[in-house]
Structure 1
Amino acid sequence: MSKKVIIYQVFTRLFGNGASCLRKNGTIDENGCGKFNAIGATELSAMREMGISHVWYTGVVRHATQTDYTRYGLPANHPAVVKGKAGSPYAITDYYDVDPDLAESVPDRMAEFEALVRRTHDAGLKVIIDFVPNHVARQYHSVCKPAGVADLGEGDDSSLGFTPKNNFYYCPGCKFSPQFSLDAEGFGPYVEMPAKATGNDHFDPSPGVNDWYETVKLNYGVDYYAGRVAHFEPIPDTWHKMLAILLFWAAKGIDGFRCDMAEMVPAGFWHWVTGRVKQQHPGIVFIGEVYNPAEYRNYISSGFDYLYDKVGMYDTLRGVTCGYMPASSITGAWQAVDDINGHMLYFLENHDEQRIASDYFAGDGWRGVPALVVSALMRRSPFMLYAGQEYGERGMDEEGFSGRDGRTTIFDYWSVGSLSRASNGTLTDNEKQLAAFYAKVLGMASTEKAVTEGEFFDLMYVNGHSGHFNPDRQYAFLRKSANQLLLVVANFSDTAVEAGVTIPAHAFDFLDFGEKRCMATDLLTGRRMSVSLVRDGIVTMPVGAWGACVLKLNTSAHK
């Protein structure tokens, strides 16, 4: 049977931190920190039982932090160019090291991570980590690189704004002078001369507070100063260094890379590097954070297995859930990428997005149920959820650098309430029930052949406004494999409905099943009901408020 990829994103710094007395802008000593060793066989087994196939350990590679590890031989970072006490996991300071915050024993941090990889594999799960190719921390310096490896920027000619031989872009003769103070108590001012270009393509020395000022842009041979002229022959030095980094991690048993802001790195590099990595490590996957639909096919042809379906499916499902888009718009979202549908990664939460249960999204985790059912069951596409989503985590804390914005912080030392309650056995009844529902849907997504390998048929074109169906609030589709047929209806409404869904004659022909009367089971509730499958006929079923119905029928024989 084909395997559906279901990814569980674990923000490693937060996942195992059970601290209850938290201080805004607290240090690691005050607020604690999750550890590699906190993710044990019990936690991994629970993930596997939920239907998870891959765990994305976010924030593994060593990044800039305000925590002092100089006693372990790790350079200190200037606080003026670190966001939050813990720092952003996307401001990498050493591509060949892991975050010391995550280790019980800092000198043994890599061994502890390697043990986590083995535990994850032993649990029947695969491992994904971040690869951050577009930018690094302003004070990047590798102390763990293998012997004979030149550091990024080590041979750069900083008198040149651009040359394909450099790893960074420079502002010759200009001091780094952002639009805010660079002073920090006990450190003095941060000095960078000449200034390097900032990670979000800011090619002057004065980024603003909303820019990625803590990072510097890596040079892949594209001359932005001359209007994005590419210089790919000979192969730029950065390409070779990044290939070595990917191979370093792949050799540790990593099964996939989630590639941060992949579209800010030229597709030519991806084509060159993914083929080389896959040649040595067959089966390894590349997941790209790409937000420009016009570039999707370019990056897939460059070796990406999966791309974020953010501006299409995510934005649409959010719009439908929040009531400012009709459910029928889901059809257009999948049709726009139908030719590459197996490559599009569906999700409702991740570290960048607001929590479903936050005040800024749906306000209640249960209101995400119809979107969950649609995104998990509609196509063969992989699905991703963010740790805590299954409990209805609200993300409404004001942690420090990260304000009260409906997101779980990536910059601060903190503890996620729902994850803490899950680990110590104090989940509320509501959280337990929502988690059980997630497990049921994800189990269905990972085991039902109609989902993992079946055909998909959108029913919306024959189900317009009527007395028994509202396409503004309901979405319906079929999945079929062999003799198993699923009829799925999602209700994005706060009112329970008796949905009457028309099954067109074309669906019978396209999916190859005949008319019959049979018993059907709602896989979500266990309810049994008699169903008449008739060309252009209507199947009626009850669907709860903010709920769904997944009817399973056997189409093998007439009764």
Structure 2
Amino acid sequence: MTSTDVPSPQAWVEHAIWWHVYALGAVGAPVREPDTDPEPHRLRRLLPWLDHVVALGANGLLLGPVFASSTHGYDTTDHGRVDPRLGTEEDLDALLAAARERGIRVLMDGVFHHVGAEHPLVAQVLAEGRDGPRASWLAVDWDAPGGPRTADFEGHRALVKLNHDEPAVADLVAHVMTHWLDRGIDGWRLDAAYAVPPAFWARVLPRVRERHPGAWVVGEVIHGDYAAVVRESGMDSVTQYPLWKATWSSLRDRNFFELDWALQRHAELLEELLPQTFVGNHDVTRIATQVGADAAVLALVVLMTVGGVPSVYYGDELGWTGLKEEREGGDDAIRPALPEAPPDPSAPGQDVLHAHQALIALRRQHPWLVHARTRADELTNERYRYTATSPDGTHRLQVELDVTDRPRAVVRDGGLVVWAFG
């Protein structure tokens, strides 16, 4: 075996399909109200759903923030402690152990751009003043009118920006990331990575990988030069927002030219990295609300037949709807609680679930799709046929999407129909 034949430490991710869960919402934890349950142990409510993940065909749990926080999970108050609304350290250990038993990898959501305003560090820094030992840990305007003012995240005063030029902050983040990897997770989703200088991650990630070379790190990046971000930061991947937008927008507006353009750019990106692909997550209107239930299945066809590392947002596989609104509580509809137990796949009305199972199985049967490139064979506003091809050109699938009258899709292998819808 030559050196070029040796798989990278993150080679496992080429077979990963994530089930993305916003933990606080999925387990029914209170977000803005006091918790009246003295011993919630809510994290264990995810345990019955791990078999659902396996039955779906997925093998990864992308777990929304579990750190102690004040409200929605992204206003961290303690990076080393499980949020009491979710339960205890033992509850998290039980979830990680149950995932390992089923061969499910776990990705944790790392909030390292900012901390919550109620984080002890904030009060400590402000109390110690501009000459205090931790004054440089936060971004603070010490001469602001009315007194010192901390920098925030996108105008949210409850989210206090860390100073990423401070070496002690890099030490803190490296320690937190390594601590939870030691506990048994497999990697990190870096929240708001687009707002953190890539040079910061370039200082942190090599230290993390000294002990955990197999950890996979994906950054939340919404726009910009994705390939340059990965090169400069040392992250493995980024969230593929342009493809997400083009997928739902093309289906909603009946304009497949937008999707074809995005897939051309996607192919260029695949030359440098494996982006994390999705049609739904905890921050966006659910796909079935954007395009309707039937067209949402066509969005899934795209997700499962193009290159990248795909994730399914919890409930999308059940056809859930939910509109994101720009107001307090505007995320509630897209972050609901799961039922106590998964649905019976054999029960009536599980067509969307069956479509997810079938398309994920199709991807499993064609593992080369993780690196697939696409080429348009027919393109009109309402009809799009493309061929997904392995990088070496030896494997192909033909995909047909049609919204001329009603959403329809066909996937062929060598001319043989292997899956159809509508």
Give the 5 Å matches for 1:182-193: none
Which residue in the other structure is 2:384 paired with?
474
Does the CA contact (< 8 Å) of 1:170 and 1:194 recur in 2?
yes
Q: CA 1:163 to 1:343, structure 2 compared with 1: closer, same or farther past 3 Å?
A: farther
* Equivalent-residue separation in structure 2 for 1:302 and 1:497 (angstroms): 41
> What is the CA deviation profile of residues 293-318 of structure 1, one whole-angstrom value per residue up to 9, with x for unaligned ones?
225423344211110111x2011112
Which residue in the other structure is 1:423 paired with?
342
Q: CA 1:153 to 1:434, structure 2 compared with 1: closer, same or farther past 3 Å?
A: same
Secondary structure of residue in 2 paired with 1:354: coil
Does the CA contact (< 8 Å) of 2:243 and 2:266 recur in 1?
no
Q: CA 1:161 to 1:285, structure 2 compared with 1: closer, same or farther past 3 Å?
A: farther
Which of 178, 192, 211 is the aligned partner of 1:280? 211
> What is the CA deviation profile of residues 466-524 of structure 1, one whole-angstrom value per residue up to 9, with x for unaligned ones?
xxxx454324223357865321112244437799x9xxxxxxxxxxxxxxxx9843222
Structure 1 residue 245: Cα displacement: 1.3
Give the 5 Å matches for 1:80-99: 87-99=71-83
Q: CA 1:56 to 1:24, structure 2 compared with 1: closer, same or farther past 3 Å?
A: closer
* Equivalent-residue separation in structure 1 for 2:44 and 2:332 (angstroms): 28
Which of 135, 156, 168 is the aligned partner of 1:212? 156
Structure 1 residue 374: Cα displacement: 1.1
* Equivalent-residue separation in structure 2 for 1:307 and 1:88 (angstroms): 23
* Equivalent-residue separation in structure 2 for 1:110 and 1:475 (angstroms): 50
Q: CA 1:397 to 1:262, structure 2 compared with 1: closer, same or farther past 3 Å?
A: closer
Which residue in the other structure is 1:485 paired with?
396
Q: CA 1:351 to 1:456, structure 2 compared with 1: closer, same or farther past 3 Å?
A: same
> What is the CA deviation profile of residues 10-36 of structure 1, one whole-angstrom value per residue up to 9, with x for unaligned ones?
12223244x9xxx99765449x97822
* Contiguous gaps of at least 5 residues in structure 2: 1-10
Is residue 52 from structure 1 mapped to residue 58 from structure 2 by the alignment? yes
Does the CA contact (< 8 Å) of 2:322 and 2:334 recur in 1?
yes
Give the 5 Å matches for 1:375-386: 375-379=303-307, 381-386=308-313
Query: Structure 1: which amino acid aligns with 2:398?
Result: L
* Equivalent-residue separation in structure 2 for 1:439 and 1:387 (angstroms): 14
Which residue in the other structure is 2:152 paired with?
198
Give the 5 Å matches for 1:107-146: 109-141=88-120
Which of 438, 448, 451 is the aligned partner of 2:356? 438
Does the CA contact (< 8 Å) of 1:327 and 1:473 recur in 2?
yes
Secondary structure of residue in 1 paired with 2:251: helix
Which residue in the other structure is 2:269 paired with?
340
Does the CA contact (< 8 Å) of 1:446 and 1:452 recur in 2?
no
> What is the CA deviation profile of residues 151-202 of structure 1, one whole-angstrom value per residue up to 9, with x for unaligned ones?
57756796549999611122325577xxxxxxxxxxxxxxxx63322222xx
* Contiguous gaps of at least 5 residues in structure 1: 65-86, 104-108, 142-150, 177-192, 201-210, 222-234, 410-414, 465-469, 502-517, 526-542, 545-559
Q: CA 1:370 to 1:198, structure 2 compared with 1: closer, same or farther past 3 Å?
A: same
Does the CA contact (< 8 Å) of 1:13 and 1:34 recur in 2?
no
* Equivalent-residue separation in structure 2 for 1:366 and 1:357 (angstroms): 8
Structure in which a larger fraction of residues adopt helix: 2
Does the CA contact (< 8 Å) of 1:16 and 1:35 recur in 2?
yes
> Comparing 389-398 with 315-324, which one deviates more in the overlay?
389-398
Percent identical pairs in the alignment equals 20
Does the CA contact (< 8 Å) of 2:226 and 2:238 recur in 1?
no
Does the CA contact (< 8 Å) of 1:306 and 1:344 recur in 2?
yes
Which residue in the other structure is 1:37 paired with?
44
Query: Structure 1: which amino acid aligns with 2:373?
Result: F
Structure 1 residue 328: Cα displacement: 2.7
Which residue in the other structure is 1:183 paired with?
none
* Equivalent-residue separation in structure 2 for 1:114 and 1:90 (angstroms): 21
Query: Structure 2: which amino acid aligns with 1:352?
Result: D
Is residue 351 from structure 1 mapped to residue 305 from structure 2 by the alignment? no
Structure 1 residue 365: Cα displacement: 2.5
Pick the structure with greater CA Rg: 1
Is residue 323 from structure 1 mapped to residue 293 from structure 2 by the alignment? no
* Equivalent-residue separation in structure 2 for 1:112 and 1:24 (angstroms): 19
> What is the CA deviation profile of residues 240-263 of structure 1, one whole-angstrom value per residue up to 9, with x for unaligned ones?
121111111111111011101102
* TM-score scaled by length of structure 2: 0.84
Structure 1 residue 215: Cα displacement: 1.0
Query: Structure 1: which amino acid aligns with 2:334?
Result: T
- In the alignment of these two chains, the number of paired residues is 406
Does the CA contact (< 8 Å) of 1:351 and 1:407 recur in 2?
no
* Equivalent-residue separation in structure 1 for 2:263 and 2:409 (angstroms): 26
Query: Structure 2: which amino acid aligns with 1:338?
Result: A
Secondary structure of residue in 2 paired with 1:293: coil
Does the CA contact (< 8 Å) of 1:421 and 1:427 recur in 2?
no
Secondary structure of residue in 2 paired with 1:220: coil
Which of 414, 417, 422 is the aligned partner of 1:522? 417
Structure 1 residue 131: Cα displacement: 0.7
Which residue in the other structure is 1:238 paired with?
169
Q: CA 1:59 to 1:452, structure 2 compared with 1: closer, same or farther past 3 Å?
A: closer
* Equivalent-residue separation in structure 2 for 1:165 and 1:337 (angstroms): 43
RMSD of the alignment, in Å? 3.6
* Equivalent-residue separation in structure 2 for 1:437 and 1:314 (angstroms): 19
Query: Structure 1: which amino acid aligns with 2:17?
Result: I
Which of 86, 95, 111 is the aligned partner of 1:102? 86
Query: Structure 1: which amino acid aligns with 2:401?
Result: A
Does the CA contact (< 8 Å) of 1:63 and 1:99 recur in 2?
yes
Q: CA 1:162 to 1:175, structure 2 compared with 1: closer, same or farther past 3 Å?
A: farther
* Equivalent-residue separation in structure 1 for 2:216 and 2:177 (angstroms): 12
* Equivalent-residue separation in structure 2 for 1:262 and 1:370 (angstroms): 30
> What is the CA deviation profile of residues 342-376 of structure 1, one whole-angstrom value per residue up to 9, with x for unaligned ones?
42211111010001222xx12x3222111211122
Structure 1 residue 408: Cα displacement: 1.5
